[in-house]
Amino acid sequence: MAILVTGGARSGKSSFAEQYAMRVASRGIYLATCQPYDDEMRERTLKHQLDRDESGFKWETREEAYDAASLLPQFARQFALELEAGIEPPVVLLDCLTLWLTNWLLLDEQQPPADKRLAIEIENLIDAIHHYPFPLLMVTNEVGDGIVPAYPLGRIFRDEAGRLNQRIASLCDRVFLVTAGIPLELKSQAFRWEQL
């Protein structure tokens, strides 16, 4: 079961995803993709970890800036073995896809054109999500509602994030848009061409 949670900055999407996770499993793995580049980001990351620790839910936090695509198949194998032994698999919460994308974009910017890996990593992530058999929640940002960025890397990011969100949403059982702390489930309300 894959679920995508999207929304703007400070919309409440991560809080909603965490609350949702607590209702689908008794424990969770939190894949945090943020790389704290400065003191403010380090403090913010630490606060989020403390909030999770105080939630009463058993989270294992993994700081993984790049490796979500390789970790999901590893988790699937591990949790399948645990399930055979009668151990309920944890929910995995990947927060967030747009930071994951940023990490790869910035890494790609430092590489020669022949060594760029973003497209490959996106395909690897899509494949890993598609084949992941256990509860998986992903948080992403809806970045296309603002102005067109004035610089090329910003436009590339906006376009890649939009395409990534569309592809992952198509794989998910449920997609939520969170605005002002209010979650709306989108897939059940989506227009379908056969309705014409």
Tallying the residues shown for the chain, one arrives at: 196
**Is there a contact between 27 and 39 (Cβ–Cβ < 8 Å)?**
no
Which residues touch 43 (CB under 8 Å, ≥6 apart)?
none
Indicate which residues carry an active-site annotation. 48
Indicate the angle between helix axes 68-84 and 118-131, nearest 10 degrees: 20
How far out from the chain centre does Cα 182 lie? 19
